[in-house]
Amino acid sequence: MPPEKKGKPHRKTDPDSTFNMRSESYRLFGVDLTAVPGLTYNPLTLYSEIGRDMSRWKTAGHFTSWLTLCPDNDVSGGRVLWRGTRHQKNGAAQIFRLAAYGLHRSQSTLGDYLRRMKAKLGPPAAITATARKLAVIFYTMIKNQVEYDDSTWAKLDTQRQTRIENRLRRQAHRMGFQLVAVENSAI
């Protein structure tokens, strides 16, 4: 016989009274921030940290600088003394970093970007770079009142792929080779 549980009995929640993050995000910001991969559960905390008024920052670059998600280089006499991001406690920047960290296994274009940057820069810098990209998307959506469009990312990814192919063809041509595309066949 299992022991009796002490405490308050569970109440069943009414399905009509459940919290809808999407409608709340739309009500607070005027756009649906839950459509952005990584920001699905963060609109309320971002609202409490940043608010809705983006007129405090002229550009997305100013916004990411305020968040301390942009690179900071100390240069003296033409020589780089230090390179990295500034250290400052900013709750909103931490939210964007956590959102970027959650994209590691995401099949979205932002998840692909994080994995590419991880291979290129290493994990900490990749998370910061992806957090910066999320912050720019957030700023643009709120400032211009536009919805998130994943087709823009798909177009940019296609352009990146074309640039890589063209670069490989030029390199092969310089070395005296000619690249021939292999047809994709089911193995």
> Taking the model in full, what pTM does it have?
0.76
Residue pLDDT, tens place only, 3-29: 676 767 666 655 555 677 888 888 888
E strands present in the chain: 71-76, 79-85
Interval 97-125: pLDDT, tens: 999 999 999 898 899 999 999 999 899 88
Task: Name the residue ranges covered by the structural domains of the chain.
Answer: 15-149
Report the alpha-carbon distance of residue 86 to residue 25 in Å, rounded.
30
Mean pLDDT of 154-162: 85
Answer with the residue of higher pLDDT: 90 or 115. Answer: 115
Q: How far apart are CA 106 and CA 110, in angstroms?
A: 8
| Mean of the per-residue pLDDT values of the chain | 84
Distance separating alpha carbons of residues 87 and 67, to the nearest angstrom: 10
Residue 68 pLDDT > 80: yes
Q: Angle between the 109-121 and 123-144 helix axes, to the nearest 10 degrees?
A: 140
